Amino acid sequence: MTATESAANWRSAAACLSADPDLFFPISNTGPAERQIARAKTICAGCGVRRECLEFALSHDQVYGIWGGTTPEDRQRDRRRKRRAAAAAAAAAAAAAGPKRAASSGQPKRAVPV
Ligand code: SF4
């Protein structure tokens, strides 16, 4: 199965196939759009391909619309949280490696001719 066929397969099982597409692409996130978003998320909550839909949106940097039950703001918050977690993990790894680096940093990097 090709990637295109795989993408077509999950789309054919989407719970939103018969829903109003405007629900999934509100023009704002306030006022009447809040009700649209809530309705779209309710449809997504019962969708059997929610995970595939969200993975598609994340891998294609979808900046508009409801995908996998998430708004663009939800996805942006998630990306920020993952970046912070990755930075914290990198900082923790660097701190853990610190004593080794400190011990080796006192050594000459290469032999100096006498
Ligand atoms: S998760 Fe929501 S937007 Fe994605 S296919 Fe299902 S119903 Fe449609």
**Contact predicate 51/22, CB 8 Å:** no
User: Separation of 44 CA from ligand 1 center, angstroms?
Assistant: 5
Encode pLDDT of 36-87 as tens digits. Answer: 999 999 999 999 999 999 999 999 999 999 999 999 999 999 999 999 999 9
pLDDT category at 29 given cuts 50, 70, 90 is confident
Q: What angle do CA 103, 106, 107 make, to 5 degrees?
A: 100
For residue 92, pLDDT beyond 90: yes
Q: Residue 103 gets which letter from DSSP? A: H
pLDDT score at 98: 83
Can you read off the two tokens belonging to residue 59? 């891998």
Q: Residue 36 gets which letter from DSSP? A: H
Length of the chain: 114
Q: Which atom of ligand 1 is nearest to the CA of 65?
A: 3
For residue 106, pLDDT beyond 90: no
Q: Is pLDDT larger for residue 50 or for residue 111?
A: 50
Kindly give, in sequence order, each residue whose CB lies less than 8 Å from that of residue 52, ignoring residues fewer than 6 positions away. Answer: 10, 68
- Decide whether any atom of ligand 1 lies within 6 Å of the 37 Cβ: no
